[in-house]
Structure formats: structure tokens, C-alpha cells
Structure 1
């Protein structure tokens, strides 16, 4: 199977990430005004239940599947066998989880009042088993994933604006969301015939998959718990206002992390493929380039948004959220920490089948976050929550580094680090000179300062002859 270039895959994955950010920003203001808080609240309630149920039903296949598909993708018979095994596991788990949800209607009064949404949620759980995104990621079909995703986002957008017209249309809105995922999954199944056979394979084996899947599932569950833990604990300890402030600061962190990780997420299948072929030279080359790429993006973003945290908060939430500025500044170094964790975890430990070590690191990070929240939230509120998250992320990263340091040795260029530091210092010095003169609207302040900061950053990198930047500019024919 012909492999697309890594740059090609990165471009499409970044486009996909941007679409996942932009489309909700377009639909949310309209839907929230039409459905009112009560309608949005009930839809989001069942959507959250569905998301957790799907997380349980997939049992880590979303990550494990990428790795195992990448290792056998050149052998159609092996690929077909693996896909049928994982899909069957996913289908059985999805049916079990959806059945438990339907049975719970008999005992939960809240479910009985919204049978329509319960049925939509149960259907979305069962059909999620046929999404096969892990298959296409393992095959590095990022152009197909992106085109398909944008197609159904556009269809859903049109249907929402046409059909959702009054508060009672909240079930219709949930149905459109289901239609989007269902249509996407049907297309995925038909398109998969290009790569696998639908003829049932004899001798399916499930046992070898269970242990690594459960390790990765536990890791995903731990991450999911401690990414939502701060808001839950803040609500109990500091109240709803604190949760609102913290959500704005963490929202910006989440958006920036999506951009950083989207550039490197495409590397898991390629790295796994090279390991399966025992091509250590190619593995090390990609690891070195990806490490440089993540640091080149994460470090300047972190520093810039520490400078411009206030305007970022004002743009996202308005004047009522200005108290979240310090919280956001504390959270910004996580861009660098999580970027590095992406290298040690997704690009080293997981491709090397060290799922247990990855799970240990993530679980310890979750425990540290919980303990620090208990001690820091009561006296310091959202600042304490931000410090706890920062320390937890740093702890997880340090443990992952300890487990992966033998693979990292010689992979991170000190010349690249020197060039990044000099460029960021130069850009920061420029920001210090002009930041006091920025008295415009937040959007204008951000546009002007970003142009200057990243312009200086890029210019210094070019002057220093940073090879990764020069290579990218050459390929882009700038």
C-alpha cells in the first residue's frame, strides 16, 4: 500500500482539527439561542452519557486499533482478521452497554421522561462500533477521514439551520447529530471494502487483544477523569462562578493542545509500521523530526499566550471572565509539557507496546491531580486548580520520560532547542516593548501582537538556519 508523506497527513489532520473547532463555534450560538438553556442542558446531558458509554464500549480500541492495523496493513488477510476481531469485540461491548442503558430506564425516572433521547443515545452507542476511525488512521487515510468528516459536518450544519426552529426541536437536534455519525459510519463500512474482505475469517482470536486494550482503556479513563475532575471539584468547593472562570482558561488550553497534537497524531501508525518492519533508522528519523516539530510549535505558543492571556480571556468570555487571566497563564506551560508527553507516550511507549507503563504514568498523574486539588482548591480556588493540573501534567511527563529515555537519547537536538530559545527570547523582548501600547479591542490586540511575535520568532529561526523550518519552507515553495 502506497503511503502518503507525513507532511501530507499532517496537513489533513490539522484541517480536520480546525474543522472540529470551527463547526461547533458556528452552530453553538444558533442552537443555544433556539433551544434555550433547558433544551441545551438535556441534550448535553444525554450526549455526555453517550460519550462515556462509547468510551467504555470501545475498550481502548481507538488507540490500540491504530497500532495493530499499522503493523499488518501490508497483508490483506492479516488486516482483515484483525479488523474483524476488533470490530466484533466492539460490537458486543456496544450492544451490552446500550442494553444496560435501556434497562436502566425502568429504574431511573429522569430517563423515563426522555425516552426519545434515550433511544437516540442507545443507537449512537451501538453504531459507534462501526466508525472504524482506528482502521483509517492505522492505514494513514487522513485525507479520507478529513473529507468524510467535513462532508457530514456541512450536511448537519444545513439540517440544523433548516429544521431546528423552536425550543421543542431539541430531540430533532439530537437526531441530526445521530444522523451525522450514522451516515459517516455507513460510509466507513462501505469504503473499508477497499482494504479488507467482508468474508468471515476462520480462527478469530480475541485473547491477544484483551490485555493491551484494557491497559489503554484504563489510561484513557484516567485521562478522562482528571481532565474533568477540576471542574467537578471546583463546583463543590468553590461554586459555579469558579467553574465558569476555570472553564474559559482551560478551553483556551484545550484548543491550543488540539492544534499541537494534531500535527503529531499522524505519526503513531507510521512509527508502529517502521517498528513492525524493524526499520529502526526510519523510526529514529521520524522521532527526531516530530520532537523538533512539537517543540517548535509548543514553546512559542505557550510563551505568547502567557503574555496575551488577558486579551484571550476577554475574547473568549468577555469582561466577566477577566479574573481567569492568572489561571490561564499558569496553565499555558502545559502546552510544552503535554507536547513532550505526546512524544514519550504516543510516539515511544505505545508503538513499543509498553501500554502498562503508559497506564502507570497517566494514573499517577490523575492521583497527583486529585490530591493537590483537595489541598489547593479550598484556599486558592481556580489558581489552586491550575497549579494542581500543571504539577500533575509535569509528573506524568516525568514518569513517561523515565520509561522512554533510552529511546530518546540522541533524538532531541540541542541545536534545535538553542534555536527555539533564542528565537522565543527575541520575540518576547519585542513583546515587552509593545505590549503596553496595545489598547484596542481584544481581537485586534491579539492579531497585532501575534503577527509581531510569531513574525520575529520565524525570522530569527530563519537567520539561525533552523533546518526544520528551512525544510518546511522549501517544501511549501515559499
Structure 2
């Protein structure tokens, strides 16, 4: 009975988080073409370039506290310890770090161009101080943060549709994004009094969290070096238009990555709770199921992107972005690679405190990204940055997967993987052949999806591995 209650709780949180993540996906699907056509590669590039630099300061202000706070609250909550004291200690630490970082940011940006954009983006740094989403995730309450973010995203979405008309609205677009981020953090404080009592905490007690949170900060710096740094390099050495191409190429693939990794965020505090109770075997059993379920969706999603991309770009992004038809297929491999690496880190390495292995993987990724850029950027320009990103992400996932396999009895089910890949390849081939002569329109993409999804679902069923049907069968028996 306890296991059923736990499962329902996880599924409930998964539902809220999925709703939020789906909204995060649907909004860009509608707003990206509007913004891309209105602002153009130049305006969009300015936003992404200034945002990429601002994110370095957001990272410093956060100091890994979001991930650390999530785990720490989950551990304290499950051990019935003083959760209010821990909460206020972490909040005080964040406030001090944010104020210092904001001051440095304002001084630093006085020496850069596009000052007005940077000043507006400073609101996202202030938002870090008020971010307590880590607390609600730690107590496995995803409803409040999901609903608030949904509301803010919807309002921002409406304002973008009605207010962003051309490249002269770039400043307004930056303002809408920054204010939305700040408001989403401020509103969560309306619900904290139900869980937390005010406690005056000592300044020194607050700083006891620095060392542990810094362990989570190191990998975030490394991650930024092989993600955000690429945008900065493109902006400096090639131009803001290249940043626009790069960002949109990643964004369209990130849509799938976001959906697929939703369960990982929900399971992180749950796994931390299981670890606090010593249920390691149960953790590995859950990971086994979730990773294979994840691959069941991520592999066909990758081949699905390879199916629709050239019919999607012209009507979705506009003719100014036709160049990214050369880039999207390369980035599509990340739909499989990134979720796998994220699952292992969020469901196993972080909950059990194996932060050193987690750090090692992202540090390797950062080093590979920097070295690759030094070699490839001068040689092949834009595509040098693309290949550097791919190499970094692949190595990160390989290191995490190898470590996980060595420490547990987990193994990939080769037969299931063969079914997934064969079904996906056949799906891709048949759909491409049928729709080859069609024009690049929304209707064509809709037809492609309508053909591809049933083919994949039918083939995996015929070949003997369809976890959706298996899960429904078990559910019917139990009910």
C-alpha cells in the first residue's frame, strides 16, 4: 500500500511538472516564429548574446544552491529535522551572494555595448535572490511552482503576441522576459508560510552551506562553459546573427529534451528520500524502468526531427533562418544523449551524494568544449562551435553512464534497444518517402507526424517491446 501511495505522489508531481514543461514547449512553438520573424536574426541574436553574458552572473549568484537546496531540504524533510532553520540559512546565503554579484555585474557592463539590454537583464540576477523553487521541489510539492510559472508564462506569451512587431521592439522583448522571470520567483513566497516559520539565523550558520553548494556550483560553471560560452564566442567572433541561428537550431531540439527529462526533476527529491531511508536497490530498479522508458521516446523523437526539420524551418522560423536546415540534423543526436546523462545524474549521482563523479563529467565536457573551439572555430567557423557542443555533451553522458554501470547492477536491455532503433529507422524512412514531394507547410508536418507515430507504435508492439501497452495491461490487472 505504501508503494502505491508513493507512486501516486510521484505521478501527481509528474503531472504538474509535465503540464509546466509542456507549456514551456508550446509557448516557444508559437512565439519563436513570431519573435524570429519580428526581431530577425540580429534582434534575436542581441537578446541571446546579452542573455548569455548575464547568465554567467546568474550562475555565480546561485552558487549551485538550487540543486543543493533541493537535495538538502529533501534530506532534512525525510529525517524530520528542523526544516525552517535550513531554509532561512540558505535564503540568507543567496541574498548576500546575489547583492554582491549584482554590484559586480553593473560595474562590468559599463564597459560593454548594448548597456540598456544588460541593465534590463539584471532583473534576472535579482530574481535569483527570491528563487525558492528548490524548497518546494525538496518537499515534493511541484503544484505551486508549476501553477505560478504557468500563469506567468501565459501572460508573457499574450504580451509578446500583441506587443512584439519588429526589430525596434527588441528592448521590450528583453523587458518582458526579465520581468516574467522576476515575478515567477516573487509569487512563490505567497505560499511559503504554510511550511516555514520565521527563524532568525546566525550569519555564520548560513555560510556553513557554502562548501556543499560550491560542489554543485563547479559543474554548473563547467556546463555553462560548454553551452552558454558557445553563444558568447559566436557573438564575439562571428556576430549576433550567428547566435540567432545557433539558438534556434538548439531550441527546436530542446523541445523534445525538455519533455523527456521532466520525470528526472520530479524523481530527484524522491530518490534523495529513498537514499535517506537506505533503499538503494529500489532506486536502481526505478532508474532501470525510467531510462528504458525514456529511450522508448527519445530515439524516435530524434528520428522524428530528422523526418520533419526541412519541412518545418521555412514556415516556422521564416526564410531568413533557412541556414539552420544544415544545423538541426546535427543537434538532433542531443535528443537521445542529453536526457540519458541527465537521468543518471538526477536520479542517482546527486541523490546519493556522488557529486565528485557528477563534477568530473561536466568538467571533462567543459575542457573538451574549450579545446575543440580553439581548434575548430578558426578552422570551420560556425560549425566548429556546433561540433564542440556535440562532443562535450557526448563525453559528459559517456562518463556518467560508465560510472553508473560500474557502481550498480544496471544493464541496458539490448533486445529492447534493437526494437526501438529498428522501429525508429523504419518510421523515418517510410515517412520521408511518402512526404518527400510535399511543400514545407504546417499541414505537411502534421501529416508526417500522423504517419510516423502510428508506424512506430505499431512496429514496437509487433517486435515485442511497447512499455505503454505493458503498463496499461498491468494497470488493468491491478484495478
The match for 1:459 is 458
- Aligned counterpart, 2:90: 86
Change (3 A) 1:302 1:48: closer
Superposition map of 1:245-324 within 5 A: 245-324=245-324
Say if 1:35 and 1:166, in contact at 8 Å, map to a contact too: yes
| Residue 169 of structure 1: how far off its partner (Å) | 8.2
Deviates more, 1:32-41 or 1:339-348: 32-41
Using the alignment, how far apart are the partners of 2:207 and 2:201 within structure 1?
Answer: 16
Aligned-partner Cα distance in 2 for 1:343–1:408: 15
The residue that corresponds to 1:470 in the other structure is: 469
The one of 58, 62, 82 equivalent to 2:62 is 58
Distance of aligned partners of 1:184 and 1:340 in 2 relative to their CA distance in 1, 3 Å threshold: closer
Give the aligned CA root-mean-square deviation in angstroms: 3.7
Aligned to 1:212: 212
Unaligned 5+ residue runs, structure 2?
Answer: none
Comparing 6-15 with 376-385, greater Cα deviation is found at: 376-385
Alignment of 1:3-42 (within 5 A): 4-24=8-28
d(CA) in 2 for partners of 1:284, 1:220:
25
- Residue pairs, 1:4-403, within 5 angstroms: 4-24=8-28, 50-74=54-78, 77-102=81-106, 108=111, 114=116, 118=119, 122=122, 124-157=124-157, 180-200=180-200, 205-206=205-206, 209-235=209-235, 242-403=242-403
Q: Deviations over 1:178-199 (max 9, x none)?
A: 5544443343223122222223
Q: CA deviation at 1:444?
A: 2.6
Structure-2 separation of matches of 1:428 and 1:167: 38
Deviation at 1:291, TM superposition (A): 0.6
By how many angstroms is 1:276 displaced?
A: 1.0
Q: After superposition, what is the alpha-carbon deviation per residue over 1:386-422, rounded to whole angstroms, capped at 9, x for unaligned?
A: 3332222222222222322234533533343233134
With normalisation by structure 2, the TM-score equals: 0.84
- 1:258, 1:293 → 2: CA distance? 15
Provide closer, same or farther for how the CA distance between residues 184 and 431 of structure 1 changes in structure 2, counting only shifts above 3 A. closer
1:428-477 Cα deviation digits (max 9, x unpaired): 442354243x4133423322222222211111223345362124445998
Shift in Å, 1:427? 2.0
**Conserved in 2, the CA contact under 8 Å of 1:238 and 1:377?**
no
Q: Give the direction of change, closer, same or farther, for the CA distance of 1:439–1:271 in structure 2 (3 Å limit).
A: same
The verdict on how the C-alpha distance between 1:209 and 1:476 changes in structure 2, with shifts beyond 3 A counting, is same
Structure 1 residues 23, 54: closer, same or farther in 2, change over 3 A?
A: same
Q: Deviations over 1:216-236 (max 9, x none)?
A: 212112212211333444455
Q: Deviations over 1:83-134 (max 9, x none)?
A: 11211111110111123345568x64869x75x973x655553343222011
Deviation per CA, 1:226-278, whole angstroms, max 9, x where unpaired? Answer: 11333444455556665554443223222222222223322211111111110
With CA pairs under 8 Å and 6+ residues apart, which has the higher RCO, 1 or 2? 2
SS at match of 2:198: coil
Which structure 1 residue ranges, 5 or more long, are not aligned?
none
The question of whether the paired residues in 2 share the 8 Å contact of 1:250 and 1:328 is answered with yes
Q: 1:284 to 1:44 in 2, by over 3 A?
A: closer
Q: Is the 8 A contact 2:23 2:150 kept in 1?
A: yes
The DSSP-based 3-state class of the residue aligned with 1:458 is: helix
Report the Cα offset of residue 302 of structure 1.
1.2
TM (norm. structure 1) is 0.84
CA contact (8 A) 1:264 1:294 kept: no
Q: State how far apart, in whole Å, the 2-side matches of 1:439 and 1:364 are.
A: 44
User: Which stretch shows the higher mean deviation, 419-428 or 299-308?
Assistant: 419-428
Match of 1:440 in 2: 439
Partner Cα separation in structure 1 for residue 189 and residue 426 of structure 2: 51
CA contact (8 A) 1:245 1:324 kept: yes
> CA offsets, 1:295-330, max 9 Å, x none?
111111112222333223334434444443343222
Q: Which residue of 2 aligns with 1:423?
A: 423
Shift in Å at residue 167 of structure 1? 9.3
SS at match of 1:329: helix
CA distance in 2, matches of 1:45, 1:445: 33
Are the structure 2 counterparts of residues 219 and 136 from structure 1 closer, same or farther at C-alpha, using a change threshold of 3 Å?
A: same
